[in-house]
Amino acid sequence: MTSTDLASSIRPASERERAERAAASGGEPTLAFTERVPYDAYVRADTLHTLQRTLSDDPGEMSFLVISQVMELYFGLVHHELREVQRLLRADDVWGALLPARRAALHLDGLNAGWQCLRWMTPADFNRFRDLLGEGSGFQSAMYRRLEFLLGLKTASLIRPFRRQPAVHAELAAALRAPSVWDDVVALLARAGHDIPADLLGRDFSDEHQPHPAVEAAWVEIYGDAGPGNHLRLLGEALTAISEGFGDWRHRHLASVRRAMGAKAGTGGSNGVQWLRRSLDREVFPELWSARTHI
């Protein structure tokens, strides 16, 4: 549907118009429309419900597929919020950045709830359709990789699987080279007067940020001021919630994999549980955590 088609199906209405419509209908919902139902035009529900194409007749595969698709949508939503956080931080609008940061943390709660819906899956349940997935794996999610890069977890080799998808590869390469949210936070700390070394600000952003004592010291100082006007402290807490939520997702992913397949090799070629365990050692926004030891 084009923007023009959408506009013809969804006509803006004021509070007064809605009240008049409700009064005229006696409070009953509108049942007749000149175009398609506005809800469907906006949400694209008719399209969403055609995207579940299972590979087997096993009824449990639908659960696996839908939860995977829902998680993809959440990856994109969290990514969207964090890009807004970046935009506002670059404009030194710390107060404004708090709302999208808090939204991102709440979206991560929604993302994490998805794992609850797969707790029914035993190895026998997964095996009924697992072979049909071939080499398909969540490891190959481009949006998840973009989210990881935005959170500062950068590994250049992980964009290689997308070389035959030029547009996706280009987006990932750009995300790899671009500053992460944490890089923008570090730059913000420097502009706020904290003693951040110049080489940390001008580094190659395609390399993963390594914890630095100057960044840790800045957060120790920030957390020492409990005043209501300390927006950086509020930002620190919002970012901590994001880091914690993303860490929870990775822990629950590991638990779900262990539940469904034990220590078997992953469908995407990794050694499964061992690969996931190693990834847990990489922490998002590390100095926010280490600073707590010195506060």
Q: Which residues are annotated as a binding site for substrate?
A: 130, 267
| Nearest-angstrom CA–CA distance, 250 and 10 | 39
- Report the C-alpha gap between 186 and 288 in whole angstroms: 11
Euclidean distance between CA atoms 275 and 245, whole angstroms: 20
Backbone angles phi, psi at 121, to 5 degrees: -85, 110
d(CA 98, CA 105): 11
Cβ-proximal residues to 2 (8 Å cutoff; 6+ apart), any chain: none
How far from the centroid of its chain's Cα atoms is residue 118's Cα? 19
Provide the 3-class DSSP secondary structure of residue 89.
helix
Q: Which residues contact 194 (CB under 8 A, 6 or more apart)?
A: 214, 217, 218, 221
CA-nearest of 10, 129, 23, 74 to 249 is: 74
List the binding residues.
130, 253, 267
Residue set of the binding site for heme: 253
